[in-house]
Structure 1
Amino acid sequence: MSQSENSMPPRQTINPPVFFGSAILIFLLVGYTVFFPEDANNRFTHLQSSIMTNASWFYVMAVALILLCVAFLGLSRYGDIKLGPDHAEPSFSFGSWFAMLFSAGMGIGLMFFGVAEPVMHFLSPPLGEAGTIEAAKEAMKLTFFHWGLHAWAIYAIVALILAFFGYRHDLPLTLRSALYPIIGDRIYGIAGHTIDVFAILGTIFGVATALGYGVLQVNSGLNYLFGLEISTQAQVILIIAITALATISVATGLDKGIRRLSEVNLLLALMLLVMVVLLGPTVLLLQMFVQNTGGYLSDMVGKTFNLYAYEPTEWLGGWTLFYWAWWLSWSPFVGMFIARISRGRTIREFVTGVLFVPTGLTLIWMTAFGNTAIDMIMNHDMASL
């Protein structure tokens, strides 16, 4: 075989049971909601309410255990284990690696909820009086809680499991490999296919949620800047355009397309963040960041296990449990991507980069945008916010 033939990349194939199985289920679910919207809405609403009522304790416990496990693995002696052969070196620089995992993990959610969530909690807190100083403090604690360590721990545990079994035990870099210690070689059969189909369904509908929120914001921004009509037609066109751009970035490959796009994305986000901090109440924002972080850390245990059992409220299902379910639905896709770009790093490097560093930047972002919005409402009569 010639050198050129030997250096050819392997042919890309699909797994027919997983591909066609997930495609059929997606079309059936979408078709059901399109042709029977009222019945679908009623059934899904009832199902969601049932899950929130009967399984909320499980969600809370599961996410708490995930965070503890990830922190333990990163801080213990297991942190020295490499995700790959002992001689493996990271494929990407720390900057490129962080840009890609941050863009995959949060992305457009920060743009939408950076202002929206603090303002919503401020104006409609789960407990207490709205629009007060205490409501503002609690709004930032809740925002930090939903976007902080717990969210990244969910991504980290999936990525860590996939990277460990994929790079140290040569198993497929798919979610089925996470269950290899439990079901063994059955991951290559019907059980494995079912796991991957389930992961794809969760990912598709998790992405649809984020894309829906993002398109609403893009449409609103274009309406404000250029007068573009806010309508379903405009939003469908925006979805097609955004999906096309994402497809192009994937088609150009990990190193050329996704890496460079992620770096540009992170650079633009940092520029926007710096502008908001410098042009806004800079000193006040720095003070608030320190206080918000302290409040978040001091209340973390209480908020982690708070089910409002003594003061029942629908707020929990609409916010905290919704977020935990959302992060879990994203975790197969985001976890697989993070595992793909993390080969050669130690578990300690991985946990530091995936759990602690992005959480810090996320909290800075939420303070800059959230506290600026609350300050504009409280002190500058910006009622439109």
Structure 2
Amino acid sequence: MIKTSFKKSVFLPSISVIIILSLCCIFMPQVTNSFITSIKNNIFKNFSWFYILSVSFFVCFMLILAFSKFGDIKLGDDDCKPSFSFSSWLAMLFATGMGVGLMYFGVAEPIIHKKTLNMSDNDAMLHTIFHWGIHPWAIYGVCALAMAYFGFRYKMPLSLRSAFYPFLKDKIYGFWGNLVDILALIVTVFGISTTLGYSASQLNAGLINLNILHSQSFLEQSVIIFIIISLATLSAISGLTKGLKILSEINLVLAILLMLFVLFIGDTTALLAKFSSNIGNYLQNIILLSFKTYAYEKEYLSWFNNWTIFYWAWWLSWAPFVGFFIAKISKGRSLREFIFGVLVVPTSFNILWFSIFGNSALTFNDILSAYSSSPENLLFHFLENFPFAYFSCILAMVVLTLFFITSADSGIFVLNSLSSAGSEKSYKWQSLLWGFILCVLAASLLYSGGLDAILNITMIVALPYALMMIIMCFSLLKGLLVDINYSYKKLTQATVYFSGEFWQERLAQILKQSKENDVKKFLHTRVKNAMLKLKNRLDIYGLSTQIISSDEEIKLVIKKELTKDFVYGVCVVKKHASKSIVDDKLLPTFSKEFIYEPQTFFIDSRNGYNIEYLNEQEIIVDILKQYERYLQLLFDDKNEIFTKDY
């Protein structure tokens, strides 16, 4: 029997939907594409505002987490060390997240914006950088952070379903959890397939430019897809820390070399000046663009939907894939390090990349705009305007090929994990299976022209996924709040007095679930006796004291004439007992739904604390500690706003 880590309730429904949709796109491409395109256009028309608000929300959410106390929390145990060095980590972020896109759109997008809307160079670069700036990385980051946090911090399966645990609880292991992973798996397969198809067309264009091939036909592109996915599959089988890590590091170095070639062969001073201006222009306009829906400029709505909304939907559809991979390689990093690493570093690199390639391309706009209808060719036509064009095109082809391989490699890895519900175990034949599926699917869709239909499906699925990600943010926040409360939970105030002298009595109290009558009895015996003894001593010193009691509380009051009275009170507090502790058969002493505690209160707004473990003498000492603090506050005039009796 073949061993497998696939979870049948996720893999079988997913592969069934993939096959059905693929067959529709292959054998009825026009009908399918027409129907799906109409749905996509209606979604973009009616919900563009939702895409804009949700993606901007993700940016704000990530930045708030980074600057808050949550930023110190580790993705893993508190002493967990990162699995990869910072440079390797960043290299793999680029290889998976946007490598192919930088090569494809680095030259093409500014040229197309300038030609389509007759934009100035400044505006063409602004909108290009906006599309490739902090927003897409915030989408990836939210998804990755939620999976990494619950996967590494709570030791749950590294899967999308785990991100919803605070709301769904154990239901994540049933129907609802399976549904989340099925959706993610389907989107990932089609997202990778379309990217492979379009990337193959750019590689084909590059090979034609180098006179290695002579046409952009289905056969050539199918061979390219087969070779690339075969190499990616071999890399996937070799393991994450071997194949993908090495390829990513090599490719980042080569990509930087290509970028430096364009920088130093071109007008270096002008490009660096434009880089600085692009940063300032981006920061100056980022808030306006983040919320702009062109509601007052309807002549730009078509462009807006075809570019900004398309990009936002595209990044959202890729979030399960890229997010999962980023999560996998981020164990051991703090939330703050993770967020700044995912948001700031790639965004800065992207601005530099587009400033060098985009601004350089705009200087050749008259030449390049003629090729804007075939963006896969623009990079190579751009490089022809520089010395050593043949060698720079070869370098570009190598970089593009490696980005292609690492994207497919990480895609196979993610598909394995998603179809196994986050299981760490994976068999080599599974990687071969996913490699085969991606290869056949991409080639078949390329042949039938069904790539557009599949792309539109991923755009449609992005809408419910955006809503799901918003819920994911609140689920993550709920988990973080519990984490902070758990991690920073202090010892009960009463334990300050613990010594070995009364350990048996202390143990009996700790293991007893106090009832309401028990706490009331504690108030009116032990607490009251302690207060009476202290009152008698205070009266000797001429202080005006009073003990006020009711069924639910008791308090000692030391009267003052010009300042607020000193009050030390104890009341009965009712709390819900955790369901897990009530249902735990190994904790038989805790069986009631509620617990009751004797909790202190004061005349100011300070939080009280539980004193159920204190004996009579210790209660007196605790009152004296609070009274000494009260007197120290009175001695300092700057505390008058709190101490004066108005």
Bin of the TM-score, shorter chain as denominator length: over 0.9
Q: Of Structure 1 and Structure 2, which has the larger fraction of its residues in strand?
A: 2
Q: Does 1:344 align with 2:332?
A: yes
The structure whose Rg is larger is 2
Residue in structure 1 matched with residue 628 of structure 2 by the alignment: none
Residue in structure 2 matched with residue 213 of structure 1 by the alignment: 198
Contact in 1 for aligned 2:112/2:369 (Cα 8 Å): no
Residue in structure 2 matched with residue 3 of structure 1 by the alignment: none
Which of 120, 137, 140 aligns to 1:152? It is 137
Offset at 1:209? 2.9
Residue in structure 1 matched with residue 344 of structure 2 by the alignment: 356
Which of 206, 209, 223 aligns to 1:224? It is 209
| CA distance, structure 1, for counterparts of residue 322 and residue 68 of structure 2 | 25
> What runs of 5+ residues in structure 1 fail to find an aligned partner?
1-10
| CA distance, structure 1, for counterparts of residue 245 and residue 32 of structure 2 | 39
Offset at 1:44? 1.1
Alignment deviations for residues 116-154 of structure 1 (CA, whole Å, 9 cap, x no partner): 1111011112xxxx1xxx521111011111100001001
Contact in 2 for aligned 1:109/1:210 (Cα 8 Å): no
Residue in structure 1 matched with residue 38 of structure 2 by the alignment: 46
Relative distance call for 1:346 and 1:27 in structure 2 (3 A) is same
Residues 357-376 of structure 1: matches in 2 within 5 Å? 357-376=345-364
Residues 282-321 of structure 1: matches in 2 within 5 Å? 282-312=268-298, 313-321=301-309
Residue in structure 2 matched with residue 112 of structure 1 by the alignment: 104
What amino acid maps onto 1:250 in structure 2? A
What amino acid maps onto 1:224 in structure 2? N
TM-score normalised to the size of structure 2? Answer: 0.56
Q: Pick which of 203-212 and 270-279 moved more.
A: 203-212
Alignment deviations for residues 176-202 of structure 1 (CA, whole Å, 9 cap, x no partner): 111111211111011111100100111
| CA distance, structure 2, for counterparts of residue 139 and residue 213 of structure 1 | 23
Residue in structure 2 matched with residue 186 of structure 1 by the alignment: 171
Contact in 2 for aligned 1:99/1:263 (Cα 8 Å): yes
Which of 13, 18, 22 aligns to 2:14? It is 22
Relative distance call for 1:205 and 1:135 in structure 2 (3 A) is farther
What amino acid maps onto 1:237 in structure 2? V
Q: Pick which of 139-148 and 229-238 moved more.
A: 229-238
Residue in structure 2 matched with residue 201 of structure 1 by the alignment: 186
What root-mean-square deviation, in Å, do the aligned CA atoms of Structure 1 and Structure 2 show? 1.5
> Which is bigger in relative contact order (C-alpha 8 A, separation at least 6)?
1
Alignment deviations for residues 299-330 of structure 1 (CA, whole Å, 9 cap, x no partner): 11111111111222211111111111111111
| CA distance, structure 1, for counterparts of residue 104 and residue 190 of structure 2 | 18
What amino acid maps onto 2:70 in structure 1? Y
| CA distance, structure 2, for counterparts of residue 368 and residue 213 of structure 1 | 24
What amino acid maps onto 1:79 in structure 2? G
Which of 47, 66, 69 aligns to 1:74? It is 66
Contact in 2 for aligned 1:122/1:139 (Cα 8 Å): yes
> What runs of 5+ residues in structure 2 fail to find an aligned partner?
372-377, 379-646
Q: Of Structure 1 and Structure 2, which has the larger fraction of its residues in helix?
A: 1
The 4+ residue runs of structure 1 with deviation greater than 4 A are: 380-385
What amino acid maps onto 1:317 in structure 2? N
| CA distance, structure 1, for counterparts of residue 370 and residue 112 of structure 2 | 13
| CA distance, structure 2, for counterparts of residue 91 and residue 12 of structure 1 | 26
Relative distance call for 1:368 and 1:299 in structure 2 (3 A) is same
Q: Does 1:240 align with 2:222?
A: no
Residue in structure 1 matched with residue 94 of structure 2 by the alignment: 102
Identity of aligned residues (%): 46
Offset at 1:34? 1.0
Alignment deviations for residues 233-263 of structure 1 (CA, whole Å, 9 cap, x no partner): 2112212222212211111101111111111
Relative distance call for 1:383 and 1:166 in structure 2 (3 A) is same
| CA distance, structure 2, for counterparts of residue 189 and residue 341 of structure 1 | 27
| CA distance, structure 2, for counterparts of residue 139 and residue 381 of structure 1 | 15
| CA distance, structure 2, for counterparts of residue 234 and residue 335 of structure 1 | 32
Which of 233, 238, 258 aligns to 1:272? It is 258
| CA distance, structure 1, for counterparts of residue 111 and residue 219 of structure 2 | 28
Alignment deviations for residues 305-356 of structure 1 (CA, whole Å, 9 cap, x no partner): 1111122221111111111111111111111111111111101110111110
TM-score normalised to the size of structure 1? Answer: 0.92
Q: Does 1:63 align with 2:49?
A: no
For the residue of structure 1 that corresponds to 2:80, the secondary structure is coil
| CA distance, structure 2, for counterparts of residue 211 and residue 299 of structure 1 | 34
Contact in 2 for aligned 1:158/1:332 (Cα 8 Å): yes
Alignment deviations for residues 206-237 of structure 1 (CA, whole Å, 9 cap, x no partner): 22232222112111110010251111221122
Relative distance call for 1:320 and 1:382 in structure 2 (3 A) is closer
